[in-house]
Amino acid sequence: MRPDILNPLFAESQTLDGVGPKLAKPLEKLGLTRVKDLAYHLPERFVTRRAIANLDEGAEGEQVIVALTATEHRAARNPGRGPYRVMAQDEVGNMCALTYFGRASYTAKKQLPVGEKRWIAGRLDRYGDMLQIVHPDHVEKDSAAHLARMNEPVYSLSEGLTQPRVAGLVAQSLERLPELPEWIEPGQFEREGWPNWHDALHLAHKDQHEKARDRLAYDELLANSLALLLVRADGRRKRGQPLKGDRSLRDRLDLPFEMTGAQKRSVSEIEGDLQQEAPMLRLLQGDVGAGKTVVALEAMLIAVEAGKQAALLAPTEILARQHFETLRKMAAPTGAEVAILTGRAKGREREGLLMSLLNGDIDILVGTHAIFQDSVTYKDLALVVIDEQHRFGVQQRLALAAKGKRAPHTLAMTATPIPRSLTLAQYGEMDVSRLDELPPGRQAIDTRVVAQERMEDIVSGVERHLATGQQAYWVCPMVRDSETADIAAAEARYASLKERFGDDVVLVHGQLRPEIKDANMERFASGGSKLLIATTVIEVGVDVPSATLMVIEQAERFGLAQLHQLRGRVGRGSEKSVCLLLRGGELSEAGRKRLALMRETQDGFRIAEEDLELRGGGELLGTRQSGEAAFRIANLEQVQKLLPAAHADARLLIDRDGGLTSQRGEAARVLLYLFERDWGVQLLRGG
């Protein structure tokens, strides 16, 4: 149960003065549904303004405070379309337009009566040959208030919110902060000279207070590490089954290749883990094409040699089928029985399968999450392999571990290369094996950046490519934050390419019925269709070696990690592969660097590291690309700077006081609830 002391923080935002249903929506859009969310809604930046006597003293782009008198209101000719402008004059007669868009014009009408002087705070800009201030931050009758607030926080907003509004709500929420016990280790707290939690929040809203910001970020990192380590400690307490294979099955494998050094190393790390009584919790990290499947197979065969069962969980039906086919073929000489179970198995087929699973006829089961439903009972499940780890949260992993009487060993696999400095944050509870070496003989993918305007040439290029009998992927643009818009774009592209290529074209996106999506996918995989148009749903998995051309529209909109994943779909066969990155419009500096890097390298680990550099310290983790939203407070720079200490501190605390019962342990519980990592605490009661 959440400690009572936190209750005021978890109260709904609507309990604040002035928040009704009308404000609730825009607040929710920003994730500010509770008092604590507002208190932690830290300013994006601070503006420093300069008071000027008249407009001649201000520079373009400068944040100023200036006295202006409205002379005329000009509504848009077509209401609701163009801006609403208030023409105003300074003390020496310079004109300036105060420009408002949308509903803000109502405010302007009230605040700026013609002939009356007002103090205006905002950014001075030029529009044609006219000076203007768009959406002034403040319009006040007297100057005193502003001159006192020269350094002002700027918050991120959503439609319907203004800076003063948010600042007011933040101030209210800060008034409700309780005094919380200190959870940071006293030595460190002293050394860093950090403010306590209560003061840190106040300070962080007041100005650019680095120590306060760091402290708050550290809290979040500490909470995360603690939770992950509690999960790990819980796993360690559980008894698993030590698995020792006799090589009888593995020796019969007849692989058409020699394993790479990285594969051999990973297999032996896994083998070592499996021999322990404590259940394995290991992440296998390896780029697309690095050869994770065969490593997983070796691990599963160890379980089978030891007389137990193994299961492989895939995130989608398509991937489950593909894994099933691959594993069945590879495992054939060993005699191990491989089966597949997805949500679509029904009736007698399903019953038969469940029976074989229960009596042990099936050694290896592949499937979607259907393989962990209550109705599915294993004879003796000893190893679970999870493909594409990032799609599963920690909590789901916990549910999984509860499946066996004895906790099964877990091997998670991800094709998302994560920079070393972030691995700890996302997978701090796991041991990591890295496949950092691609199988030999892979051909480099020829990556080119082409302007999207040259669509006619691009389509002709695709035509020539298809004429050679090879296949191609065409990835449609990702329209920000709207799946519907993504799909609309894909449908439109599909229609136009279908006109050109006829029945050779299939379409796959997230809103197609699963049967249709799979049928289309299978048609492409079997070569029945030559060109696959898709939204980013093909990002994960899917292995079609004769697909050797990848076209990505508006590539600048994708993050590096995603581009890398997409490109990884080609270059899987013996033919030379090409990736065309279509550049939509003007490129930002970061966009240009991203595409250049894609041309330069195919090394996923390097791309991940540079991605981290490029995104820099300003941006938060947990965008679409990193899969799981990891942190809300800590930025990348802080993660790199503070995480090692936070992790070490968490480890020390858990070693000394695993039950979190000491005074500091109690404080740490408060911290875990505050950051909603309480699944960590909940394990304590069970263990």
Contacts with ligand ADP, residue ranges (CB under 6 A): 257, 259-260, 263, 286, 288-294, 415, 439, 543
Query: Closest separation between CB of residue 334 and ligand ADP, Å?
Result: 16
Query: Closest separation between CB of residue 276 and ligand ADP, Å?
Result: 25
Cα 395 vs. chain centroid, distance in angstroms?
17
Query: Closest separation between CB of residue 291 and ligand ADP, Å?
Result: 3
Q: Which CB atom, from 297 or from 304, has the smaller least distance to ligand ADP?
A: 297
Query: Closest separation between CB of residue 539 and ligand ADP, Å?
Result: 13
Query: Closest separation between CB of residue 286 and ligand ADP, Å?
Result: 5
Distance, CA of 104 to CA of 139 (rounded, Å) = 13
Q: Which CB atom, from 288 or from 531, has the smaller least distance to ligand ADP?
A: 288
Query: Closest separation between CB of residue 630 and ligand ADP, Å?
Result: 23
Q: For residues 74 and 87, is the Cβ–Cβ distance under 8 A?
A: yes
Distance, CA of 464 to CA of 520 (rounded, Å) = 23
Coil, strand or helix: which one is 508?
Answer: strand
Per DSSP bridges, beta strands 578-583 and 446-451 are parallel
Q: Position of tokens 């496949």?
A: 435
Q: Which CB atom, from 49 or from 292, has the smaller least distance to ligand ADP?
A: 292
Alpha helices in 5-112 (DSSP H): 7-10, 21-29, 35-39, 104-111
Q: Which CB atom, from 471 or from 554, has the smaller least distance to ligand ADP?
A: 471
* Distances 676 to 320, 540, 579, 633 between C-alpha atoms, Å: 33, 29, 42, 13
| Nearest-5° Cα angle at 539, 538 to 543 | 65
Q: Which CB atom, from 65 or from 311, has the smaller least distance to ligand ADP?
A: 311
Q: For residues 277 and 242, is the Cβ–Cβ distance under 8 A?
A: yes
Coil, strand or helix: which one is 474?
Answer: strand
Query: Closest separation between CB of residue 390 and ligand ADP, Å?
Result: 14
How many CB atoms are closer than 10 A to CB 276? 14
Query: Closest separation between CB of residue 258 and ligand ADP, Å?
Result: 6
Q: Which CB atom, from 180 or from 435, has the smaller least distance to ligand ADP?
A: 435
Query: Closest separation between CB of residue 512 and ligand ADP, Å?
Result: 25
Query: Closest separation between CB of residue 572 and ligand ADP, Å?
Result: 6
Q: Which CB atom, from 489 or from 540, has the smaller least distance to ligand ADP?
A: 540
Q: Which CB atom, from 294 or from 505, has the smaller least distance to ligand ADP?
A: 294
Q: For residues 439 and 294, is the Cβ–Cβ distance under 8 A?
A: no
Distance, CA of 524 to CA of 531 (rounded, Å) = 7
Q: Which CB atom, from 43 or from 289, has the smaller least distance to ligand ADP?
A: 289
Query: Could you tell me which residues come within 8 angstroms of residue 603 by beta carbon, excluding any fewer than 6 positions away?
Result: 287
Give 225's strand partners. Answer: none
Q: Which CB atom, from 289 or from 408, has the smaller least distance to ligand ADP?
A: 289
Give 68's strand partners. Answer: 118
Distance, CA of 653 to CA of 165 (rounded, Å) = 41
Q: Which CB atom, from 225 or from 260, has the smaller least distance to ligand ADP?
A: 260
Distance, CA of 304 to CA of 274 (rounded, Å) = 12
Give 340's strand partners. Answer: 366
Distance, CA of 176 to CA of 170 (rounded, Å) = 10
How buried is residue 48: exposed, middle or buried, by Cβ count under 10 Å (0-12/13-18/19+)? exposed
Q: Which CB atom, from 185 or from 575, has the smaller least distance to ligand ADP?
A: 575
DSSP state of 97: E
Q: Which CB atom, from 51 or from 259, has the smaller least distance to ligand ADP?
A: 259
Cα 440 vs. chain centroid, distance in angstroms?
31
CB-based closest residue to ligand ADP: 291
* Distances 197 to 178, 475, 651, 674 between C-alpha atoms, Å: 10, 47, 21, 12
Give 46's strand partners. Answer: 153
Instruction: Find the helix or strand (DSSP H, E) in which 124 lies.
Output: strand 117-127
User: What's the longest Cα–Cα distance across the chain?
Assistant: 94
Q: Which CB atom, from 325 or from 431, has the smaller least distance to ligand ADP?
A: 325
Query: Closest separation between CB of residue 557 and ligand ADP, Å?
Result: 24
Query: Closest separation between CB of residue 148 and ligand ADP, Å?
Result: 60
Query: Closest separation between CB of residue 14 and ligand ADP, Å?
Result: 48
| Nearest-5° Cα angle at 181, 175 to 184 | 115
Q: For residues 401 and 380, is the Cβ–Cβ distance under 8 A?
A: no
Query: Closest separation between CB of residue 316 and ligand ADP, Å?
Result: 14
Query: Closest separation between CB of residue 319 and ligand ADP, Å?
Result: 10
Q: Which CB atom, from 290 or from 555, has the smaller least distance to ligand ADP?
A: 290
Q: Which CB atom, from 13 or from 565, has the smaller least distance to ligand ADP?
A: 565
Query: Closest separation between CB of residue 288 and ligand ADP, Å?
Result: 4
DSSP secondary structure, 140-170, as one string: ESSSHHHHHT-EEEE----TT--HHHHHHHH
In the Cβ-directed half-sphere of 38, how many Cα atoms lie within 13 Å? 30
Residue type, 166: V
State phi, psi for 209 to the nearest 5 degrees.
-100, 100
